[in-house]
Amino acid sequence: MSSRVLDEVDEKLLKILQENADLTYVEIAKKVGVSPSTAYMRIKRLKEQGFIKKIVAVVDSELLGYRLKALIFMSIDVKKFNKVVEALSGIPQIRDIYDVTGEWTLVCSLLVQDHTELSKVLDQIGSIDGVLNTSTLVVLRTIKEDKVILP
């Protein structure tokens, strides 16, 4: 991770890309007030320095049939932490894995098509050596979900 302080142009570029990374360099440059080549070079540098991890499309999961979101809270044998995390990382339905403080060791978010698929994933998680206990919360509705870092 870079400790470099961003200037105003870099911050504007990041804000624009967070909103719409599908813009051309010409369109981005106009919004920021720089030349397209400057926009290109700045964005390239922001990628190289790790400020931009990757540029992706935000896909509507429900339109693709993935209508059920859940959070799985886990207690694990900390001696098997790395093996548990590796096994969880291999489950495609798991979207995020967080190492947390408090009663639980890990929290995972997952996205599945239905309760049947959720049940299969929970069985898979429960069979991982080192997973001691789980608690599952099904998301009824999403109130806010945002990946924007710079407002």
Q: Say whether both 42 and 78 belong to one domain.
A: no
| pLDDT value, residue 132 | 97
| Residue 16 within any structural domain of the chain | yes
Total domains in the chain come to: 2
CATH code for position 115: 3.30.70.920
Q: Does pLDDT of 123 surpass 90?
A: yes
> In this structure, is residue 149 part of a structural domain?
no
**Residue 130 region by backbone torsions, left for phi larger than 0, else alpha for psi between -120 and 50, else beta:** left
Q: Is residue 151 part of a domain?
A: no
- The confidence score (pLDDT) of residue 1 equals 47
Using the predicted structure, report yes or no on whether residue 151 has a pLDDT greater than 80: no
Based on the fold, state whether residues 87 and 124 are members of the same structural domain: yes
Q: Are residues 43 and 95 in the same domain?
A: no
- Dump pLDDT digits (tens) for 83-101: 999 999 999 999 999 999 9
Q: What is the per-residue pLDDT across 100-121, written as a single tens digit (0 to 9) for each?
A: 999 999 999 999 999 999 999 9
Range of the domain at 28: 8-48
CA distance 83 to 79: 9
Same domain, 37 and 84: no
Say if CB 42 and CB 101 are below 8 A apart: no
Q: What is the pLDDT of residue 3?
A: 56
The answer to whether residues 82 and 114 belong to one domain is yes
CATH number at 38 reads 1.10.10.10
Kindly state whether residue 148 falls inside one of the protein's structural domains: no
**Is residue 97 included in any domain, yes or no?**
yes
One domain, residues 76 and 41: no
